[in-house]
Structure 1
Amino acid sequence: MVQDSAVVALTGVRRVYGDGESRVAALDGVTLEFSAGSFTAVMGPSGSGKSTLLQCAAGLDQVDEGRVRLAGVDPRGMSETALTRLRRERIGFVFQSFNLLPTLTARQNVELPLQLAKKPPRPAEVDRVLAELGLAARAAHLPSELSGGQQQRVAIARALVTRPQVLFADEPTGALDSRTSREVLALLRRIVAEHGQTIIMVTHDPVAASYAGRVVFLADGRVVDELANPTVDAVAARMAALEPADDEPTGTGHGHGHLEEAAAC
């Protein structure tokens, strides 16, 4: 049963790719809830269904069976125009690649979602988001003039400027060094604690997962474990137990490209 506080909920979700002998259930009866103000990490071996889960939960891919509730609505059956509006106004996305427009300043990149939604950017609101992410002094700089960590902060600011109900993060620290990764993860955790932001993050990194309040583990398209208040050692131990032997297949290969392309709409 879906709770009222669930910003995102999946009930009995199945997503199948391929036909005949190549048919693979990327998600196989997944039921999960993500409550308001929660920070959840999703982990699993390669091919476990992590990216497919993010795609279906974010309304970027249709499920074959089951139901998804996203920000209070069911994306199934919505027109592409309505889905695009939903993604622009109520959902934020952050990826491993920063996806900043190189000819726009940090401030202009942050303002872009508002302009796409035909909402005139309010300078005070943009200033607030930039300051909160430690970018006030870098607002007039181009992405090429920023460090990797600063570029990811701009990407996070861009995702948050519309005040989304949920922020989906796909390997957000994958392109960063360890020190910068910790800074970005601490920032995400602070946004959850201070502003009640809901974050769902796919990661392969036990250190990244330890910043979340809950870790959900997938294997072969199914939820196989959960861990509350995770530590690095506990996450690493669970992941080690889930990793397939070297001679086993590693899954469907569906992943980041489709997610980023659809989210850019």
Structure 2
Amino acid sequence: MAVELDELSKTYDGGAGSVSALDGVTTGFADGTFTAVMGPSGSGKSTLLHCAAGLEQPTAGQVSIEGTRLGDLSETRLTRFRRDRVGFVFQDFNLVSSLTAAQNVALPLRLAGRKADAAAVRVALADVGLADRAGHRPRELSGGQQQRVAIARALFTRPAVLFADEPTGALDSRASRQVMALLRELVDMHGRTVVMVTHDPVAAGVADRVVLLVDGRIVDELTGADAPVIADRMTALERSC
């Protein structure tokens, strides 16, 4: 199992009292699979993704990636583990505007004090269809191309799992289809494990499995479902909230 979540809970303390974002979530994401996580606004989707990726610490429960329990790692070891074994793609790309596409892909290794092989960077960009854009800066790329650079960067260290938080949320429909096709290819052709949060039933329909969250709990799972089925289920969930 690439990722295992065991009784995962996350509570935030605020001025109006504590808020439970996750409430005892137990699930797993198998190697070489594509999972979409959906739910109404405020259901805990992004919190689940951030805790699973080690970007946030859960209040209770355990996250394991490739058998490594993240809660057992010191902050320094967790940072190294995330850098080497976890890829993360954000909705707003998070590229450095002053760097070229190639430099953005190599950035994680540079930050770790390691030199990135130029040929490997070129291959990484070619794998996402951007072999001819290595010298372009983000402002010279379309939104879809920027997201593909972000995916190439996330995959550059060959992580155990790629987490994607609304990866098509800032894209038009054409660019969204291209990014989703790329993620699907990463799973089918390269055996990658992808876990994606999305609000889009069309994007979720590309996944092997859809996990539905409500109030921080898993309430349903769909496998092999197409966009209309997913949309109908989401509508029913939203009406029940």
Q: Tell me the TM-score normalized by structure 2.
A: 0.96
Asked whether 1:47 is paired with 2:33, we answer no
Number of paired residues?
241
> Mapping of 1:146-225 within 5 angstroms?
146-225=141-220
| Contact 1:203–1:209 (CA under 8 A) maintained in structure 2 | yes
Query: Which of 132, 146, 167 is equivalent to 2:127?
Result: 132
Q: What are the ranges of 5 or more consecutive residues in structure 1 without an aligned counterpart? A: 1-5, 249-265
Residue in 1 that maps onto 2:234? 239
Q: Tell me the TM-score normalized by structure 1.
A: 0.87
Distance 1:25 1:215 in 2: 22
Asked whether 1:229 is paired with 2:186, we answer no
| Contact 1:10–1:66 (CA under 8 A) maintained in structure 2 | yes
Residue in 2 that maps onto 1:102? 97
Asked whether 1:90 is paired with 2:85, we answer yes
| Contact 1:71–1:166 (CA under 8 A) maintained in structure 2 | no
| Contact 2:89–2:167 (CA under 8 A) maintained in structure 1 | yes
Distance 1:185 1:161 in 2: 19
Q: Offset at 1:244?
A: 4.5
| Contact 2:87–2:163 (CA under 8 A) maintained in structure 1 | yes
| Contact 2:10–2:23 (CA under 8 A) maintained in structure 1 | yes
Distance 1:21 1:135 in 2: 48
Task: Please give the per-residue CA displacement for 1:118-168, whole angstroms capped at 9, x wherever unaligned.
Answer: 232112221111111111111111111111111111111111111111111
SS in 2 for 1:243: helix
Distance 1:157 1:95 in 2: 13
* Moved beyond 3 Å, runs of 4+: none
> Mapping of 1:7-22 within 5 angstroms?
7-18=2-13, 22=17
Task: Please give the per-residue CA displacement for 1:80-118, whole angstroms capped at 9, x wherever unaligned.
Answer: 211111111111110110111111111111111121222
Distance 2:123 2:15 in 1: 53
Residue in 2 that maps onto 1:38? 33
Asked whether 1:141 is paired with 2:136, we answer yes
SS in 2 for 1:108: helix
Query: CA separation of 1:224/1:105 partners in 2, compared to 1, >3 Å: closer, same or farther?
Result: same
SS in 2 for 1:13: strand
Counterpart amino acid of residue 88 in structure 2 = F
SS in 2 for 1:26: strand
Q: Offset at 1:19?
A: 6.7
Query: Which of 56, 62, 65 is equivalent to 2:57?
Result: 62
Instruction: Please give the root-mean-square deviation of Cα atoms over the aligned residues, in Å.
Output: 1.5
Distance 2:16 2:98 in 1: 47
